[in-house]
C-alpha cells in the first residue's frame, strides 16, 4: 500500500503506513484498554461527515479496527493526535 493521496497532507505522515483494519477478536478486561470512537464521533471531532470518515478509512488515511460485526472503530488516542497535528498547520 503506497502513501495515500488526498486533501489532508498531515494524514499521510501520521498514518501513511496503516493497513486495512482487522477484526477485533477478543475484548480486553483490564482498565488500560484503549478507547475507540464510532464514526460519528470521529466526524464531529474532525468537522466532516461520517461518510468522509468512512471513505478516509477505506483509503487507508485513518487507522481503525473492525468489530466482529463489521463496524469500524477508530483509536481515540491516534485520532486526537491527528487533530493536534491538523491544528498546528503545515510546518515550514
Give pLDDT tens digits for 34-64.
899 999 999 999 999 999 999 999 999 999 9
Can you point out the beta strands (E) in the chain?
36-37, 65-66, 72-75
Q: Where along the chain do its domains lie?
A: 35-92
pLDDT of residue 75: 97
pLDDT surpasses 70 at 11: no
Residues 17-46 have a mean pLDDT of: 72
Contact 18, 56 (CB under 8 A): no
Residues 71-84 have a mean pLDDT of: 96
Give the CATH number of domain 35-92: 1.10.1660.10
Q: Where are the alpha helices (DSSP H) in the chain?
A: 9-15, 39-46, 50-58, 76-88
Amino acid at each position: 500500500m503506497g502513501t495515500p493521496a488526498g486533501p489532508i497532507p498531515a494524514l499521510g505522515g501520521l498514518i501513511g503506513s496503516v493497513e486495512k483494519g482487522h477484526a477485533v477478536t477478543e475484548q480486553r478486561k483490564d482498565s488500560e484498554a484503549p478507547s475507540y470512537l464510532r464514526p460519528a464521533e470521529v466526524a464531529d471531532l474532525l468537522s466532516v461527515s461520517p461518510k468522509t470518515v468512512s471513505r478516509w478509512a477505506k483509503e487507508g488515511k485513518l487507522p481503525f479496527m473492525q468489530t466482529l460485526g463489521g463496524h469500524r472503530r477508530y483509536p481515540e488516542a491516534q485520532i486526537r493526535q491527528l487533530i493536534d497535528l491538523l491544528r498546528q498547520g503545515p510546518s515550514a
